[in-house]
Amino acid sequence: MNGQIRTSYSQAPMTAHEGRMPGVGLPAMLRNRNGLMIAGALSLAISVLAWISDLTGMVYACPYCRVERTSIGLLGLVILALPWLNRFFARYLSVAVGAFGFIVAVMQNFTYGWLLMFQGTFKIHDPWTVDPMLLSGAALVIIAFQIGIIFEAR
């Protein structure tokens, strides 16, 4: 509509993507099939590498972390299958799996890191790459990003 504002309800309603401001939403790369495949494959790679580090004993076998890495992997599979999945089913599955993983990551973050901070005993682990608070924070960001991709993909 060339930037015009609609003033009455008698005009045709906006589509989901018509009313957006420029620069808001997913980058163009993630709106096409190749971008979705890259995002899904990257999510799966993160999940598989995290599981390998768990199963080989490189990191502590944490039940919180296992839920988080599994939900990242399952959301990666949903992203890979987005071009062929029913939109409602993909969104429902992503909310169910993503919300579970997100809540577990929040619980790990608050029960471990913030509790120790309030007690005054918090310190980052010596190899900071295996610190549970930092890793659960990274899982929060990844899961939120994945759910955003699933909800914004066409």
The verdict on residue 1 lying in a domain is no
The verdict on residue 57 lying in a domain is yes
How many structural domains are present in the chain?
1
Range of the domain at 144: 29-152
Give the model confidence (pLDDT) of 89-130 as tens digits: 999 999 999 999 999 999 988 888 778 888 888 787 778 777
Give the model confidence (pLDDT) of 73-84 as tens digits: 999 999 999 989
R_g over Cα of the chain? 19
Which residue has tokens 């914004």?
152
Give the integer Cα–Cα distance in Å for 112 and 137: 12
Q: Can you give the pTM of this predicted structure?
A: 0.77
Give the integer Cα–Cα distance in Å for 47 and 64: 14
How many C-beta atoms lie closer than 10 Å to residue 40's C-beta?
21
Contacts of 29 by beta carbon, 8 Å cutoff, 6+ apart: 35, 38
The verdict on residue 54 lying in a domain is yes
User: Collapsing DSSP states into helix, strand and coil, what is residue 39?
Assistant: helix
The verdict on residue 10 lying in a domain is no
Q: What is the average pLDDT score of the chain?
A: 82
